[in-house]
């Protein structure tokens, strides 16, 4: 059950929402009018990506390395960040980076609606919390809003001595069983240096393009049948 409460307020033409979690308010500019974060090119396919993982897994570092391709100093995300990444002028990803602190994990479900892809980041070197991370992934994948949504899991911090490999993470997280109803991929990476990020992003784009195309084909099918039904009864 989603325990997040919200208040709306306006800033110019934009509508924002302030979230309250456990009595503390987080305001990080969630733009309710999704078009404000959309590409201006109508030919560009739009997709919503949910970026999750425990606190200190490297989610925000990964996000800004992908977007800016440069080193960025990040602070723990209290609430969420929203960024848009355009790929080859054909696909635009609006990425919702939600904080991984325990109080924020309780409201991850509130961000699942209309999600086209899930990116889950694991600190491969934090062996004490790997079981916690696995449990959180198992829990969020039970959300009905992301049923069949593709998953790309980044096994981050591969530069740290003793970090588990992508194969280790795949086995420990039981990814094959957990994601048997959807497309999935586990990518080893180092968010600080950018190693492995392009490969993981490419796989995410491949999955998302297929999902968006399938959704568009379904919508076109229903529009066509609705039009034929209208003509029949006119």
pLDDT at 158: 99
Say if residue 19's pLDDT is above 80.
no
- Check residue 98 and give its pLDDT: 95
Torsion over CA: 134, 139, 145, 148 (sign): positive
Read off the pLDDT of residues 69-85 as tens digits, 9 standing for 90 and up. 544 444 455 578 889 99
Q: Are 150 and 129 in contact (CB under 8 A)?
A: no
Q: Which residues are catalytic?
A: 101
pLDDT one-digit tens code per residue, 38-73? 556 667 889 999 999 999 999 999 999 998 854 444
Q: What is the pLDDT of residue 231?
A: 58
Mark the binding-site residues, compressed into ranges: 53-60, 77, 100, 156-159
Average the pLDDT over 164-184 and give the result: 98
CB atoms near residue 75 (< 10 Å): 6
User: Which residues make up each annotated binding site for Mg(2+)?
Assistant: 60, 77
Residue 89 confidence class, pLDDT cut points 50, 70, 90: confident
Measured distance CA(2)–CA(118) in Å, rounded: 19
Degrees, nearest 5: CA angle 77-83-88 = 145
Q: pLDDT at position 87, please?
A: 85
Kindly state the average pLDDT of the residues 120-139. 98
User: What is the rounded average pLDDT for all residues in the chain?
Assistant: 80
Residue-range domains of the chain with CATH:
44-216 (3.40.50.300)
């Amino acid at each position: 059950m989603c325990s997040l409460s919200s208040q709306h307020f306006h800033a110019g033409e934009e509508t924002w929402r302030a979230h309250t979690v456990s009595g503390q308010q987080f305001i990080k500019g969630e733009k309710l009018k999704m078009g404000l974060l959309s590409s201006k090119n109508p030919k560009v396919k739009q997709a919503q990506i949910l970026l999750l993982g425990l606190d200190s897994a490297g989610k925000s570092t990964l996000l800004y390395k992908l977007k800016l391709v440069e080193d960025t100093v990040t602070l723990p995300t209290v609430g969420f960040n929203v960024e848009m990444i355009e790929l080859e002028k054909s696909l635009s990803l609006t990425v919702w980076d939600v904080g991984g602190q325990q109080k924020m994990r309780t409201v991850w479900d509130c961000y699942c609606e209309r999600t086209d892809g899930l990116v889950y980041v694991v600190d491969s070197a934090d062996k004490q919390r790997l079981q916690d991370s696995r449990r959180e992934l198992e829990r969020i994948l039970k959300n009905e809003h992301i049923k069949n949504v593709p998953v790309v899991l980044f096994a981050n911090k591969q530069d740290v001595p003793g970090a588990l490999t992508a194969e280790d993470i795949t086995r420990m997280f039981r990814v094959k069983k957990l994601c048997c109803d959807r497309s999935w991929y586990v990518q080893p990476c180092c968010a600080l240096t950018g190693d492995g990020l392009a490969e993981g992003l490419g796989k995410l784009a491949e999955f998302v393009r297929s999902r968006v195309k399938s959704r568009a084909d379904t919508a076109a099918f229903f529009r066509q049948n609705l039009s034929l039904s209208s003509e029949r009864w006119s």
